[in-house]
Amino acid sequence: MIQPAQANDARATQPWATPRRDHVAVVEAAPSPTVSVVIPALNEAENLPHVLPKLPQEYEVLVVDGHSTDGTAAVATELRPDSRIVSQDRRGKGNALGCGFAAATGDIIVMLDADGSARPEEIDRFVDILCRGADFAKGSRRLAGGGSADLTWIRRAGNRLLSGLVNLLFGTRYTDLCYGYNAFWAYCLPHLDVDCDGFEVETLMNIRAAKAGLVVVEVPSYEDLRLFGSSNLRAIRDGMRVLRTIVAERVRRRPRGNANGASREWEASGAATGTVNSTSKPDPLLEHAAFSDSYAD
């Protein structure tokens, strides 16, 4: 079992490790990038058999166990003997992801829920977007080809209000702020600097990606119902945590500039129109990409 404090140091010697590295150079250095899938899991033993077998064998799989009492870690090891079990040092989804990110060794890191609501087969969409020039591929249930069988009316309304607030305050065009299916190049980790514990983690990462000037592209994604058990998400309580995070990030000063070190700001949601909108000349790898056409189901 991997302890959370044992962050992986191998990435520091790799050419794509430098946070300000030119993205084109990163892709050239890793034409076939390795993929790490980080799966936070708290009492998900019933759901893991419907998730882990769908992940390609070449992926590094990290199951972050939140001190489960139902044998989650044992089930993960039985289903996927090569999976790495990471132990949380605190509680909550944000802390689980942070511990998993620290242990991951892949060029690309994917966030995947353990409850069966996220479709593992969609990972290829995210990886392709990253290889075509994005720094951060953000899932969206509101784009053509996406959707949800799980969103209640109150969560849907809250998500739209919070998305609109972030777009207003940070100049972004996010369509689905609180969705947790995302993927990014490992060199983004210093910019994202995940230091929260709860379900506000997706909001924190999305805001910090925008503030750092990372190239964020939304990807259509469909959310299924949780298979077994009940979610720990509470709409009002966690919505307030998200709101507090937005306010805190608005007043917090962070250095701007993307992974290339240039002072340019990219706006998300290019997938909605088939282009990536920017305040400066787009990266050649993204300039003519029509993501919504490519990924509509």
The predicted pLDDT at position 136 comes to 96
What digits encode the pLDDT tens for the residues 118-152?
A: 999 999 999 999 999 999 999 998 899 888 887 67
Percent of the chain whose pLDDT exceeds 90: 49
Return the minimum-mean-pLDDT range out of 7-16, 97-106, 177-186. 7-16
CATH fit for domain 10-295, picks 3.40.640.10, 3.90.550.10, 3.40.50.720, 3.40.1350.10? 3.90.550.10
8 Å CB contact between 107 and 16: yes
For residue 163, the Cα-to-chain-centroid distance in whole angstroms is 16
- What SS3 class is residue 235? helix
Q: Does the structure show a pLDDT above 90 at 262?
A: no
Token pair for residue 85?
A: 């079990």
Token pair for residue 159?
A: 């998500």
What digits encode the pLDDT tens for the residues 264-295?
A: 233 333 433 232 333 233 444 454 333 333 33
State the pairing for strand pair 147-148/222-223. Answer: parallel
Q: State the amino acid at position 191 in one-letter form.
A: H
Domain ranges of the chain: 10-295
What digits encode the pLDDT tens for the residues 173-188?
A: 999 998 889 999 999 9
Residue 109 to residues 112, 120, 172, 252, 286, Cα–Cα distance (Å): 10, 13, 23, 26, 20
8 Å CB contact between 235 and 158: yes
For residue 238, the Cα-to-chain-centroid distance in whole angstroms is 18
Q: How large is the angle between the packed helices 235-251 and 201-211, nearest 10 degrees?
A: 20
For residue 164, the Cα-to-chain-centroid distance in whole angstroms is 20
